Amino acid sequence: MPERRFLLWLLTGVFTFQACIFGASLYYCSRNKGLESCPEIGERYQQTFNVMVATTLALLTGSTLKEK
């Protein structure tokens, strides 16, 4: 159970970290000509987000299967 709680906190941290990074990058891009300076920001954000969430969920699934 403590492992599961830790992994859920890790998932929360992933979401928080991603929101902060995305906010900072949007601020930077808006100050420097918008999408002209950051044309692939949405795609990069989506790729990073998917990998981080998939990794955390895989760890959660693995810890659940291990308990049974």
Give me the DSSP letters along the chain.
-HHHHHHHHHHHHHHHHHHHHHHHHHHHHHHTTGGGT-TTHHHHHHHHHHHHHHHHHHHHHHHHHHH-
More reliable by pLDDT, 40 or 68: 40
pLDDT bucket at 66, cuts 50 / 70 / 90: low
On whether the pTM is more than 0.75, the answer is no
Burial class (CB in 10 A: 0-12, 13-18, 19+), 18: middle
Q: Note the pLDDT of residue 65.
A: 59
Q: Note the pLDDT of residue 1.
A: 59
Q: What is the pLDDT of residues 6-43, one digit of tens each?
A: 877 887 888 888 889 888 888 888 888 777 777 787 78
